[in-house]
Amino acid sequence: MKILVGCERSGVVRDKLRELNHDAWSCDILPSEESNDYHIEGDVRKYLYEGWDMAIFFPDCTHICVSGARYFSQKTELQETALDFVARLMVAPISKIAIENPVGVISTKIRKPDQIIQPWMFGDDASKKTCLWLKNLPKLEPTNIIKKDRYENQTVSGQNKLAPSKDRAYLRAKTYPGIADAMAQQWTNPLYSGVQS
């Protein structure tokens, strides 16, 4: 399959897809985290019409996720721009699409997600409620559930314990390996390919 992984510079999902012999390409306005021949540096909207079989998008959540809700009144225009970007990705001319984002205003301003997942459902010792909006793709089935009172990435109060830094937002946004593996394995498996959500 020819697969576009949009708004990803880490290569985590792209590399899982390539391990399964798919023609997967990441695309982001920033360079790839590592030197990679399979990364397109640019605005993903310019590359939506290149005959992709599937796309998985990870749009920036800075202005639309609930963790920043206290600032929403100060960034109405930025939020509208971010929501317009997501809406354009949802209607891209690609037959199979997944959009990933934390809980936020996409659910109220555009539409509710098709599924909400957690890293601990896929073998990662972490908590991060993550929404998926799906087009012609099945919901992800948990692969290795880890049940704990508090996960590795949490403080006692349940907040993310990653210390403030210039890279904090990027590090928090990075896809967990178990989720990336489930996306690659389940969404490209012929047994799932005809299922619609």
Give the neighbor-by-neighbor strand order of the sheet with 54-57.
39-41, 23-28, 2-6, 54-57, 96-102, 130-135, 115-117
pLDDT reported for residue 152: 79
pLDDT reported for residue 195: 41
d(CA 150, CA 157) in angstroms, rounded, equals: 9
In the CATH scheme, what is the code of domain 2-187? Answer: 3.40.50.150
Q: Is the pLDDT assigned to residue 186 strictly greater than 70?
A: yes
pLDDT reported for residue 162: 52
| Local confidence band at 193 (pLDDT 50, 70, 90 cut-offs) | very low
115-117/130-135 β-pairing: antiparallel
**CA distances (Å), origin 56, targets 15, 16, 48, 160:** 13, 12, 11, 25
3 state SS for 75-106: CHHHHHHHHHHHHHHHCCCCCEEEEEEECECH
What's the predicted TM-score (pTM) here?
A: 0.87
- Using one digit for the tens of pLDDT, what is the confidence trace for 121-173? 999 999 899 999 999 999 999 999 999 887 776 655 555 555 555 554 544 55
d(CA 3, CA 156) in angstroms, rounded, equals: 39
Pick the more confident residue, 152 or 54: 54
Q: Is the pLDDT assigned to residue 50 strictly greater than 60?
A: yes
- Using one digit for the tens of pLDDT, what is the confidence trace for 26-37? 999 999 988 789
- Using one digit for the tens of pLDDT, what is the confidence trace for 93-130? 999 999 999 998 889 999 999 999 999 999 999 989 99
Residues above pLDDT 70, as percent of the chain: 80
d(CA 107, CA 85) in angstroms, rounded, equals: 14
pLDDT reported for residue 120: 95
Q: Is the pLDDT assigned to residue 63 strictly greater than 70?
A: no
**CA distances (Å), origin 165, targets 34, 81, 128, 145:** 20, 26, 19, 30
| Average pLDDT of the residues of the chain | 86
Averaged pLDDT for residues 39-51 = 97
Domain ranges of the chain: 2-187
Q: What's the length of the chain?
A: 197
Q: Is the pLDDT assigned to residue 75 strictly greater than 70?
A: no
Write the DSSP string, 148-173.
-SS-TTB-TTSSB-PPP-TTHHHHHH
